A = this chain, B = another copy of it.
């Protein structure tokens, strides 16, 4: 079993209203040194696969087909084994 940790982030050129709202709220709370906030998704998949490579391939396919929007978002995949 492998755990895939996936981060899906909006491309830099795409406006991020959720991040802007969080940035504004942080400013109100006195966080003056935070210059930018971007918010994306963190997804963890438990994958039953033979090898790290095949788990990574499943995770990438899942991103391409469902979890990320390839027009607006980028994703990164990080795989680690799970002790059973």
Contact = CB atoms under 8 A, between A and B. Distances in A.
A43 B47 contact: no
Query: How large, as a class, is the contact surface on chain A?
Result: 20 to 34
Q: Determine how many copies of this chain the complex contains.
A: 2
A11 interface: no
Given A33-B47, A42-B7, A48-B33, A25 B66 contact: yes
B22 A43 contact: yes
Nearest to A16: B44
Given A58-B33, A66-B22, A39 B47 contact: no
Contact of A34 (B9, B26, B37, B47): B47
A43 B37 contact: yes
Interface string A1-17: 10001011100000000
